[in-house]
């Protein structure tokens, strides 16, 4: 078996996304859904003898921005770009005190407050839902942010062209197009589920606002980099460990038409492949995602019910690229030995890689507490066993 790379990283990713076999399985690390928690990153670079600061690239999830040295060590084939916040947004993390404890708070552009304890905090969780007690009239009057604010996109094209023209890597967007989840962020999860059953008109009113935000956002984003990016990452979690988080009929009635409108708009403006992120047992929705126009499924939570890699590849592998699914991230990656990690990765790659249509990544982000030896074993196994 040849172990000589015959493709650039971008060629490798694009070949896999076209359901053809590249020289080896592409490897990914560093996105909002394929990243690494700051604590795991700190331990990892120490283990590898690397230096450098721990730069946070996602405040809510507390993800570190991987260094170029680490990305090259793991032979990562992707690099990420992201738009920013509105030019007049005054947000940022502030330190305060709640119930006698120090907290870090972040109020996002939609008015949702995210908070994390200053001591030993791992993530930011929602502590204020601005539409918790709202009516439809309140929704109509609410100051939703402008998706097409030009300040979001300052320098975006230049950064994207730098990657496209001066590096060999596939260019992937940060997470965007979050039409559904923003609604419950603003309303509160429990109340939103009640609304889905009892107040569908209210739900539609909020969904229309979040869809408008993203349609406006993508109009400018695609003007700027629609000819540059290779992959666009959108997503809303639709499923949990056992299956859908709410009735599939409600998804198809309320959410899917808006998802499809957004995806079809993106497809009309760019040749980039569209990646959809949903955790959990999402087999109920795979047909809907394909119908919407999605090309890629992430994170492929193989530890969830009915998410067996062999079955997924057999039933859906000709229609979707699987991006993730490398390992049981709940039990194996954090708890097994490095040799067990390598074997688990080997088995899953052998199931996913035939015929292309597969990009290697952990299932979602690498969490705090995952041994650095296991992270190294996972990525080294991806390279060793990913050759065609």
pLDDT at 229 exceeding the cut of 70: yes
Chain segment 150-191, per-residue pLDDT in tens: 999 999 999 999 999 999 999 999 999 999 999 999 999 999
Chain segment 44-93, per-residue pLDDT in tens: 999 999 999 999 999 999 999 999 999 999 999 999 999 999 998 988 89
Q: Do β-strands 273-277 and 231-235 pair in parallel, antiparallel, or remain unpaired?
A: parallel
Q: Do β-strands 101-107 and 113-117 pair in parallel, antiparallel, or remain unpaired?
A: antiparallel
**Domain definitions of the chain by residue range:** 9-26+73-86+131-385
| Mean pLDDT confidence for 127-140 | 97
pLDDT at 252 exceeding the cut of 60: yes
In contact, 382 and 326? CB cutoff 8 Å: yes
Chain segment 9-37, per-residue pLDDT in tens: 999 999 999 999 999 999 999 999 999 99
Q: Do β-strands 56-58 and 63-64 pair in parallel, antiparallel, or remain unpaired?
A: antiparallel
What is the pLDDT confidence band of residue 262, given thresholds at 50, 70 and 90? Answer: very high
Q: What is the pLDDT of residue 91?
A: 82
- Give the 3-state secondary structure of residue 122: coil
In contact, 172 and 295? CB cutoff 8 Å: no
Q: What is the pLDDT of residue 1?
A: 53
pLDDT at 360 exceeding the cut of 70: yes
From the options 3.50.30.10, 1.10.357.10, 3.40.50.300, 3.20.20.210, give the CATH code of 9-26+73-86+131-385: 3.20.20.210
Residue 111 sits at φ, ψ, to 5 deg, of: 90, 5
In contact, 47 and 338? CB cutoff 8 Å: no
**Structure token pair of residue 212:** 């408008």
Please state, as a whole number, how many other Cβ atoms lie within 10 Å of the Cβ of residue 37: 21
Cis peptide before 13 (omega within 30 of 0): no
Q: What is the pLDDT of residue 98?
A: 82
- Ordered alpha helix ranges (H), the chain: 9-17, 38-47, 68-73, 136-141, 156-166, 181-187, 189-198, 200-225, 248-250, 256-269, 283-292, 309-316, 332-335, 338-352, 372-385
Query: H or E element: which one contains 382?
Result: helix 372-385
Dihedral sign, CA of 246, 247, 251, 254? negative
Q: What percent of the chain has pLDDT over 90?
A: 96
DSSP code string of 32-74: SSS-EEHHHHHHHHHHTT------EEETTTTEE---HHHHHHT
């Amino acid at each position: 078996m040849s172990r000589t790379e015959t493709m650039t990283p971008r060629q490798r990713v694009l070949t896999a996304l076209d359901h053809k076999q590249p020289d080896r399985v592409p490897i990914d690390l560093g996105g909002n859904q394929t990243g690494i928690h700051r604590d795991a990153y700190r331990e990892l670079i120490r283990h590898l003898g690397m230096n450098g600061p721990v730069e946070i690239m996602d405040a809510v999830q507390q993800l570190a921005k991987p260094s170029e040295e680490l990305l090259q060590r793991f032979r990562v084939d992707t690099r990420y770009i992201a738009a920013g916040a509105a030019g007049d947004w005054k947000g940022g993390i502030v330190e305060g005190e709640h119930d006698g404890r120090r907290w870090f708070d972040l109020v996002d552009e939609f008015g949702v407050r995210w908070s994390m304890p200053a001591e030993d905090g791992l993530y930011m969780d929602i502590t204020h839902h601005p539409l918790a007690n709202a009516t439809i009239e309140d929704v109509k009057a609410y100051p939703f942010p402008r998706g097409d604010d030009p300040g979001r996109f300052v320098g975006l094209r230049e950064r994207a062209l730098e990657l496209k023209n001066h590096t060999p890597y596939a260019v992937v967007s940060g997470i965007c197009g979050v039409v559904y989840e923003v609604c419950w962020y603003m309303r509160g999860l429990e109340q939103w589920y009640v609304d889905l059953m009892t107040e569908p008109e209210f739900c539609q009113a909020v969904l229309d606002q979040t869809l408008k935000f993203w349609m406006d956002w993508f109009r400018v984003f695609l003007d700027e980099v629609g000819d540059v990016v290779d992959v666009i990452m959108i997503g809303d979690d639709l499923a949990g460990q056992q299956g859908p988080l709410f009735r599939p009929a409600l998804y198809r009635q309320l959410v899917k038409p808006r998802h499809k409108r957004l995806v079809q708009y993106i497809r009309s403006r760019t040749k980039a492949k569209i990646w959809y992120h949903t955790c959990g047992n999402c087999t109920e929705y795979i047909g809907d995602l394909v119908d919407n126009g999605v090309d890629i499924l992430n994170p492929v939570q193989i530890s969830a019910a009915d998410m067996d890699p062999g079955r997924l590849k057999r039933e859906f592998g000709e229609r979707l690229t699987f991006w993730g699914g490398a390992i049981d991230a709940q039990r194996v990656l954090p708890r097994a030995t490095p040799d067990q990690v390598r074997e688990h990765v080997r088995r899953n790659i052998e199931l996913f890689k035939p015929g292309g249509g597969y990009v290697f990544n952990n299932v979602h982000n690498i969490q705090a507490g995952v041994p650095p030896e296991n992270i190294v074993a996972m990525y080294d196994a991806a390279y060793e066993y990913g050759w065609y």
